Amino acid sequence: MTPFENTLYIAMVAPVLALVVSAFLKPAMSFKWNSLLLALSGIGGAIAGAYGAVAEAPFTMSVPMFYGMTIALDRFSAIFFVGISIVIAAAGLYALVYGAKHQNNLAHLRHVGILSALFVIGAQWVFISGNIIGFIASWAVMMFSVFFLVFSRSEKSVALQFLTISQLGIAALTAGFFILSSGALFSDFGTLAYLAGQIDPIQLTVGYGLLLFGFASTIGLFPMHRWLRNVHATVPAHISALFRGVLSGVAFYGFVRCILFILPPLSIWFALPVALLGVLTIVCGAICALNEKNIQRIFSNISLQSMGVAITMVAGAMAFQAVAIYEAMNVMLFAAFVQITVSAIAGSGLFLVGDIVGSNINHTGGLAEKMPKLTIAAFILLLCAIGFPPFATFTSAWMFATTLWGAFPDIALPLAIISGAILVIFDLCVLLSIVSVGRVIIGVFLGSSRAESEKVITEATDSQLTPIVLLAFLALVSGFALPQLFAAIGADPLTSAAGTFNGGIVTAMGTLRMGIIGILTGAIALIAWYFRASWLDRVPTFEAIEACREKIVARLTVGNRCKTLWNCALEKLRR
């Protein structure tokens, strides 16, 4: 067997062994081995995905014991497989910390270990399933394991809310694939693409709408974002990291795969609901992060905003495809791939950071002096999450903005107006996210000690730091390496001139230039802070940041005040 096949088999077999270990070994050792096996699965999956991304031919095999079941990993799925595997490895390593904290509750650890392994198995098989029935079955396993994890840790209302949304999503995906395949659910995806091109436009529209709802409900796009935010605030940190990096990545992969490889070319009207969902999700994430005090919920809303950006990029690609501007479509897709991959890594790391620093932003402060290593890693992850140079999320956002701006002369006036509005909203939400991250950096790390942080706090342990530092390092390297790696393996559709559409900057020199600017800016700030330069002493306090935030929130809630005044006026008229 080739190294690719060996590592893929390791990635697939390790979570099965983790499931068996959790179910049958003595409780005292089962969770530790479960975590190590999941970490091994993530490492093997990352290597296998890297091999698959550069392989000339996709990996395929059949499973004779199941009728029509095939396993396939092509270049497109391999790229996403690398991203989720990195998160699985980091979550597996951090799970060792969780096991040490809860070693007296062995029954709970066994429960978490079994469901975590099932979740990883379901997520992996979504990527490698070569036909419809395998995709849906793997999706159902993944979602049911999430429900039982949520049910054991959250309020029952949160778990039931998730169960309702997840079951509606599974039903919508099944019905959508049933319509597109004309009932042939055992078909492979190549056959499905052919069958989808033969159905009438009404059936195509209904099938598309069902798939959009199924994938959007899993990603947690507006207005279905509440379950995701509540879940992240209650489940263990390594489970939150899995949900952020794996669950959202799987749903995004499924949606983009349907758009690119299954559905026939769509009109521009099909892109409008996707763009609307993406923009509303960006706005919702930015405003909710600004108005939140729970640190995990702040990180959840920042991640929600990143997902909205990626979905908006896909909508732009669909729109440019419909108007036959294929260069712009390719740049948008490339930007979406970069955005979803790197933001998943950064978001997963932030949930692990949130488990260490505390729950309430008003009760924690001054951690930079007490936890310098964690502070540096958290800075990197936070700046990556909001798209600050030199990170690849900045590169993808710059591609998105410059492509929309450069395409104005080539598109009709209504589309130009919509594109301009999206750009304005995107820029405003970026500013709001910068304020939200500034709150966390100044309040939690650079600010003075408060309440909970008055107790003795020391640097995080090596077990806690290792996965966080790993994710922070990958997030930092992404700014220099990821766009060039994608272009080198052919993942960038414009490989010969990556991102040069209408003056785009995604070239090796352009990315390096932005990276150098970002590093120099950060280095100057860190050096000045270390030596307590006089100008840095004028940095606003956490209280000043909170006062500014409250003013912004008051402006954003002007609609509620108008509604209140309107109701008062009606009440007076009735009298």
pLDDT over threshold 80, residue 153: no
Q: What is the model's pLDDT at position 522?
A: 62
Chain centroid offset of residue 528 CA: 33
Cα–Cα distance, 264 to 14 (Å, whole number)? 38
First and final C-alpha spacing in the chain:
84
Q: What is the model's pLDDT at position 453?
A: 43
Q: Which of 59-73, 151-165, 331-345 has the highest mean pLDDT?
A: 331-345
The 3-class SS string of 299-360 reads: HHHHHHHHHHHHHHHHHHHHHHHHCCCHHHHHHHHHHHHHHHHHHHHHHHHHHHHHHHHCCE
Does residue 504 sit in the same domain as residue 370? yes
Q: What is the model's pLDDT at position 530?
A: 58
Does residue 457 sit in the same domain as residue 549? no
Does residue 413 sit in the same domain as residue 545? no
Does residue 522 sit in the same domain as residue 555? no
Number of domains in the chain: 2
In 3D, which of 276, 172, 176, 174 has the Cα closest to residue 223? 276
Q: What is the model's pLDDT at position 511?
A: 53
Q: Give 368's contacts (C-beta < 8 A, 6+ positions apart).
A: 375, 445, 446
Mean pLDDT of the chain: 77
Q: What is the model's pLDDT at position 533?
A: 47
How sure is the predictor about 490, in pLDDT bands with cuts at 50, 70 and 90?
low
Q: What is the model's pLDDT at position 448?
A: 65
In 3D, which of 309, 318, 343, 345 has the Cα closest to residue 469? 345
Extract the tokens encoding 460: 């995080």
Does residue 190 sit in the same domain as residue 112? yes
In 3D, which of 421, 243, 251, 403 has the Cα closest to residue 329? 403
Q: What is the model's pLDDT at position 535?
A: 46
Q: Is the CB of residue 46 less than 8 Å from the CB of residue 86?
A: yes
Q: Comparing 165-169, 186-190, 231-235, which segment has the lowest mean pLDDT?
A: 231-235
| Top-confidence residue, 79 or 362 | 79
Q: What is the model's pLDDT at position 505?
A: 39
pLDDT over threshold 80, residue 500: no
Cα–Cα distance, 546 to 551 (Å, whole number)? 9
| Cα-based torsion angle of the residue sequence 361, 364, 366, 369 in order, rounded to the nearest 10 degrees | -120
Q: Which residue has the tokens 């009728």?
A: 67
Does residue 419 sit in the same domain as residue 470? yes
Does residue 551 sit in the same domain as residue 524? no
Q: What is the model's pLDDT at position 317?
A: 86
pLDDT over threshold 50, residue 502: no
Extract the tokens encoding 264: 């026939």
DSSP state of 62: E
pLDDT over threshold 60, residue 493: no
pLDDT over threshold 70, residue 245: yes
How sure is the predictor about 79, in pLDDT bands with cuts at 50, 70 and 90?
confident
In 3D, which of 177, 181, 188 has the Cα closest to residue 69? 188
Q: Give 342's contacts (C-beta < 8 A, 6+ positions apart).
A: 384, 391, 392, 393, 396, 475, 478, 482
Q: Is the CB of residue 34 less than 8 Å from the CB of residue 59?
A: no
pLDDT over threshold 50, residue 374: yes
Q: Comparing 20-24, 230-234, 537-541, which segment has the lowest mean pLDDT?
A: 537-541
Q: Which of 36-45, 492-501, 562-571 has the highest mean pLDDT?
A: 36-45
Q: Comparing 60-64, 92-96, 439-443, 533-537, which segment has the lowest mean pLDDT?
A: 533-537
At 324, the amino acid letter reads A
Does residue 285 sit in the same domain as residue 330? yes
Extract the tokens encoding 520: 């120099």
| Cα-based torsion angle of the residue sequence 477, 229, 370, 539 in order, rounded to the nearest 10 degrees | 80
How sure is the predictor about 175, in pLDDT bands with cuts at 50, 70 and 90?
very high
* Number of CB atoms found within 10 A of residue 355's CB: 23
Does residue 110 sit in the same domain as residue 225? yes
Does residue 56 sit in the same domain as residue 190? yes
Phi-psi region of 403 (alpha: psi -120 to 50; beta: other; left: phi over 0): alpha
pLDDT over threshold 80, residue 71: no
Q: Which residue has the tokens 């936070």?
A: 382
Extract the tokens encoding 493: 């559709």
How sure is the predictor about 501, in pLDDT bands with cuts at 50, 70 and 90?
very low
In 3D, which of 457, 245, 259, 485 has the Cα closest to residue 369? 457
In 3D, which of 287, 340, 286 has the Cα closest to residue 313? 340
Q: What is the model's pLDDT at position 386?
A: 84
Does residue 164 sit in the same domain as residue 253? yes
Backbone angles phi, psi at 60, to 5 degrees: -140, 145
Q: What is the model's pLDDT at position 187?
A: 80
Cα dist from 47 to 16, 51, 58, 114, 178, whole Å = 19, 6, 15, 25, 34
Helix, strand, or coil (residue 507) = coil
Q: What is the model's pLDDT at position 507?
A: 46
pLDDT over threshold 80, residue 138: yes
Does residue 95 sit in the same domain as residue 167? yes
Q: Comparing 142-146, 274-278, 410-414, 517-521, which segment has the lowest mean pLDDT?
A: 517-521
Q: What is the model's pLDDT at position 452?
A: 47
Per DSSP, helices labelled H in 441-461 are none
pLDDT over threshold 70, residue 182: yes
How sure is the predictor about 494, in pLDDT bands with cuts at 50, 70 and 90?
very low
The range of the structural domain enclosing residue 65 comes to 3-536
pLDDT over threshold 80, residue 260: no
Q: Is the CB of residue 250 less than 8 Å from the CB of residue 127?
A: yes
